[in-house]
Chain A
Amino acid sequence: MVKGIEAYGIPVVHMCTVVPISLTVGANRIVPTIAIPHPLGNPNLDQEEELNLRRRLVDKALAALETEIEEQTVFE
């Protein structure tokens, strides 16, 4: 999916939990996430903390989209 879209020249940031799979399928910008059933959330946190967690992850993804890269890069 990532490659099919990025082939059009649009930068794609892949947000996922199992980074080795993302690397294998060939995503170029990768942001590791929290857990498989809730990549961008954590049900153990209260609502405000969870929202802040999601903001931080989205911030990383946006920063990745602004970053020039030569090869597959994981934005920790």
Chain B
Amino acid sequence: MSKIKVVHYINQFFAGIGGEEQAHIEPEIREGAVGPGLALNAGLGENAEIVATIVCGDSFYNENLESAKETILEMIKSQDADLFIAGPAFNAGRYGVACGDITTAVQNELGIPALTGMYIENPGADMYKKEVYIVETRDSAAGMRDAVGKMVPLALKLVNNEEIGSPEEEHYYPRGIRKNFFTEKRGSARAVEMLLQKLKGEEFETEFPMPSFDRVEPAAPLKSVKEATIAIVTSGGIVPKGNPDRIESSSASKYGEYDIDGVMDLTEATYETAHGGFDPVYANLDADRVIPVDVLRQYEEEGKIGKLHRYYYSTVGNGTAVASAKAFSEEIGKKLIEDGVDAVILTST
């Protein structure tokens, strides 16, 4: 039997090309395994081999979803691959979206078995988990070994057309697929057992978890922005020069509140970004590119808006825990209400 041909997708960072300053690079293909592909290759054993690695910058993929996908699909076709693996992306958001998107396209458009892996809070997990197998990994590359140990067996099962077990057994995110099977006990007996466990305060496992819809109703629109006080909030990490609150460049544990009374324009000398998840050059030169203080000040003078709120709020949305972001926004929202703010412009990088 000939070896199973695997094509692997990674980003510019894991390919060793560079960090954020190289996140714009276009897709390229390299022979054999690169970076984390070496560990995957070792895990795949003798029957399968990474024949090619596709590398693409995270920003390039996310800013050019359609064309990036098309180019990469062509590259994969040229390799006559039996199996496609992307990542793992851990908790890198844009990487996770790229991995989820390309894995879905390979599976659906090329009909090649495909899978990826990432951390549960990676936005790519929620976006693509129903489409493809996404293996649950830790939040950083320190979890590579663990990820290989979970991704490789599932990948081999997929390519060999073996039966795939439950999400718990195979360590992938539940895809919302129901499967019929015979059980020893009938439903009523199982329900009563579960009820008894519940009454005793014991742990029990539901057979039908309710989907969680975490949504907020759209707030009523403003009658007129001309009379409104508008506040700026950002996850782009714009801070006064020197980052006085020392907001972390990733996994932020706090946000800052900054007084922009009388500030007409953000300049290179006065503001910068604390964000470690994108190339900071452009934001550091002119932070108005992330939070439009200059334009809103002009509009305030021209009477196009009522008022720009005196304070803006900033944190770094880079691998930041959902629980932290939730806590920040609850505090920020409370302050904005108390200060009589009518609407918010929230910018993200």
Residues of A whose CB lies within 8 Å of any CB of B are 1-18, 20-22, 24-29, 33, 35-41, 43, 51, 54-55, 57-58, 61-62, 65-73
Contact = CB atoms under 8 A, between A and B. Distances in A.
A1 B233 contact: yes
B14 interface: no
B324 to A, nearest CB: 10
Interface string B298-322: 1100001100000000010100000
A68 B220 contact: yes
A62 B218 CA distance: 15
24 contacts: A3-B215, A4-B330, A6-B333, A7-B216, A11-B222, A15-B348, A16-B348, A18-B97, A20-B127, A21-B123, A22-B348, A26-B216, A28-B219, A38-B282, A39-B347, A40-B290, A40-B347, A41-B282, A41-B290, A51-B294, A54-B289, A54-B292, A58-B292, A58-B299
A28 B219 CA distance: 8
B57 to A, nearest CB: 10
Contacts of A38: 282-283, 289-290
Interface of B: 20, 23, 59, 62-63, 65, 93-94, 97, 123, 126-127, 214-225, 228, 230, 233, 235-236, 278-283, 285-286, 288-292, 294-296, 298-299, 304-305, 315, 317, 325-326, 328-330, 332-334, 336-337, 341-349
A47 to B, nearest CB: 9
A26 B214 CA distance: 8
Nearest to B235: A1
Given A8-B334, A10-B341, A36-B94, A51 B295 contact: yes
A72 B59 CA distance: 24
B345 A13 contact: yes
Contacts of A6: 216, 218-219, 333
Contact of A24 (B123, B218, B347): B123
> Lowest 5 CB-CB distances: which A-B pairs, in order?
A4-B329, A41-B289, A28-B218, A16-B348, A38-B282
Given A4-B329, A10-B337, A70 B218 contact: yes
Contacts of B94: 18, 36
B222 A21 contact: no
Contacts of A33: 347
Nearest to A26: B215
A12 B334 contact: no
B216 A28 contact: yes
B342 A1 contact: no
Which has the most chain B C-beta neighbours within 10 Å: A4, A36, A72?
A36
A43 B97 CA distance: 25
Nearest to A68: B221
A12 B215 contact: no
A20 B97 contact: yes
Contacts of B346: 1-2, 5, 12-15, 27
A40 B289 contact: yes
A54 B305 CA distance: 15
Contact of A37 (B224, B279, B299, B337): B279
A18 B292 CA distance: 18
Contacts of B299: 58, 62
A57 B292 CA distance: 9
Contact of B221 (A15, A61, A69): A69
